[in-house]
Amino acid sequence: MPVKLQLALDLINLDDALRIAKKACDNIDFLEAGTPLIKSEGIRCVKALKELFPEKIIVADMKTMDTGYLEAEIAAKAGADIVSILGVAPDPTILGAMEAKEDYGIEVMADLIGVKNKLERARELEKIGVDYLIVHAGIDEQRTGKLPFQDLKEVSGEVSVKLAVAGGIRPEHISLLKDCRVDVVIVGGYITKSSDPREAAMQMKKALAELFD
């Protein structure tokens, strides 16, 4: 299966997010309502993305830490296909999201951001049954120079669950994925901050195709 490209719309204005999504969508597989967008605009941003792009996989980056079932349910009812939950959340919270998966047919992404022993937690989350793990260097971590590729390499060799990677990724970084197993590459600022989001998305898709196809 080709590696999927996910666009993280980590903006605070829904109109801006939709404008960028419209320009980039031809080269995007998963459209993500980013956490800042959900906090600024509410769950309506998930509904708006699904209504405008019904053929795309819509990700609600809830980063849930508690009330796993309730937050996953809210996102599912708004049209999300995938809901994110924090890997550092207690197991009962993860299991709550998994119950919502069964009730609403969504998939669950567990984000390893902030997890100290990523490999150990990845194995635990795989046993719980999450659909995806995200190996993620957050925006604040990126400011210190951190990138996610070494962590991805370590985790990808030890679990079989589907893997996503996020954290300041640009086309020139794609070659760093050569020795990793990855299913979804998540890109935010390279596309959303570009003067030409369509071209930026195209460059990302081209880089992925050259390495993985």
CA distances from 156 to 60, 126, 144, 179, 182 (A): 24, 12, 24, 9, 7
Q: Does position 108 have pLDDT exceeding 90, yes or no? A: yes
Q: Where are the alpha helices (DSSP H) in 25-117?
A: 35-41, 44-52, 68-77, 91-104
Q: How far is it, in rounded angstroms, from Cα 58 to Cα 44?
A: 13
- Compute φ and ψ for 155, nearest 5 degrees: -70, -40
Q: How many CB atoms lie within 10 A of CB 181?
A: 15
C-alpha gyration radius of the chain: 16
Q: Does position 27 have pLDDT exceeding 90, yes or no? A: yes
Q: Does position 1 have pLDDT exceeding 80, yes or no? A: no
Determine the 3-state secondary structure of 101 from DSSP: helix
Q: Does position 145 have pLDDT exceeding 80, yes or no? A: yes
Q: Does position 212 have pLDDT exceeding 90, yes or no? A: no
**Burial status of residue 171 (CB atoms within 10 A of its CB: 0-12, 13-18, 19 or more):** middle
Q: How far is it, in rounded angstroms, from Cα 33 to Cα 10?
A: 7
List the CATH code of the domain at 4-212. 3.20.20.70
Measured at the CA of 147, the angle between CA 141 and CA 152, to 5 degrees, comes to 120
* In the chain, where the domains are located: 4-212
pLDDT digits (tens, 9 = 90+) for 29-75: 999 999 999 999 999 999 999 999 999 999 999 999 999 999 999 99
